Structure 1
Amino acid sequence: MPIQTADVLVDTKNLRNSMVDVVLNVAEARTKLPFARGPMLSRSVLDAARFPSIHFVSTAVSLGPGGRISDGATVTGDLTVRDVTRPITLDAALYRPPGSAKDDLDRLFIHLTGALNRNDFGATGYADLVDETVGLNIRTEIRRKP
């Protein structure tokens, strides 16, 4: 799903104060299986016509070993799908491009992984074809504002 808006703050002085606020554009979602797009956006699953976005806002960042986000960290937040908001915790990794200088934070990559039960959000359609647990694998790049 393409990002509609994103506000990401990486507080390099206190990583626990970092935050994420992202809105995804449901109507523009794509799948690797073109025939699955229609059912995914249908009324019984994401209902893109009535709920055109998915919203995630972080509420806490837990650092991994050594006080870092690069290994073993989690991001907890509120996820809103189909106008239903539930807490979710995602495994997080934040890292620089390979070969970049240690203090070069102009371009960073974020990798978030986790899972949700789609039934918790009312996305119950096609139960015979789609598991109730949906894995999340989010990779994105962020750049420092000039």
Structure 2
Amino acid sequence: MKKNLSLSAAIVAGALAFAPAFAQDTAPAGTYVEDDAHAYINFTYDHQGYSSPYLRFNDFAVEVSYDPENVTASTVNVTIDAASIDSGVDRFDEHLNSADFFETETYPEITFVSTGLTQETETTGKLTGDLTIKGITKAVTLDVTLNKIGTTMQGDTPKMGFSAKGTVLRSDFDVDAYVPYVGDEVDLIIEIELEKSE
């Protein structure tokens, strides 16, 4: 598991799929994983109309198997430690781990498995996948933007970065305490860098 949601890494497949469109630099085939220091899965929601708090998951692992010759065969798997949810307030985190929300003792992991990609431009597209929270699986769609393809600062490891956004409903996953007083819609905001591991 790694430092710093939710499902973001799943978008990696989308970003990788755009690589062939960049003639100046392409992503080679292989397995890509998150750069621990530069990967963030955040989310926000409406709190009774007063504010839109930002939370995140601190521990997750992403593995992408990428084949530039057959992008649709590429796979993405994301596993999140549900108990790593971080609001910045310990008392709130304890409540989020309870049965009112993620019930992490019973459902310790959140997973995402990609199922498809639709490319819209050279650097943008929509990634679909199966998101599982509290044992409930739903299809989700993420808007993905490929930011850059290159190498690490040492110049010896292929690297790429992307941004992704999407919206899910808490009620779809039985994480719906206080709806509608607290918003049902959750906006996902993902920023992630990936490095080739093999």
Letter in 1 for 2:126: T
Alignment of 1:56-75 (within 5 A): 56-65=112-121, 68=122, 70-71=123-124, 73-75=125-127
| 1:37/1:77 CA distance change after superposition, 3 Å | same
Residue in structure 2 matched with residue 12 of structure 1 by the alignment: 68
Match status 1:24 vs 2:80: yes
Question: Displacement of 1:31 after TM fit?
Answer: 1.7
Normalising by structure 2, report the TM-score: 0.61
Deviations 1:59-81 (A, max 9, x none): 0011122xx3x22x011010000
Residue in structure 1 matched with residue 167 of structure 2 by the alignment: 115
Higher relative contact order (CA 8 A, sep 6+): 2
Match status 1:37 vs 2:93: yes
Match among 80, 103, 106 for residue 50 of structure 1: 106
SS in 2 for 1:120: helix
Letter in 2 for 1:38: E
Residue in structure 2 matched with residue 126 of structure 1 by the alignment: 178
* Higher strand proportion: 2
- Of all paired residues, the percent bearing the same amino acid is 25
Unaligned runs of 5+ in 1: none
Match among 81, 87, 92 for residue 133 of structure 2: 81
Decide whether the 8 Å contact of 1:116 with 1:135 is kept in 2.
yes
Distance 1:35 1:7 in 2: 32
Unaligned runs of 5+ in 2: 1-56
Normalising by structure 1, report the TM-score: 0.81
Letter in 1 for 2:174: G
Aligned residues: 139
Question: Displacement of 1:105 after TM fit?
Answer: 7.7
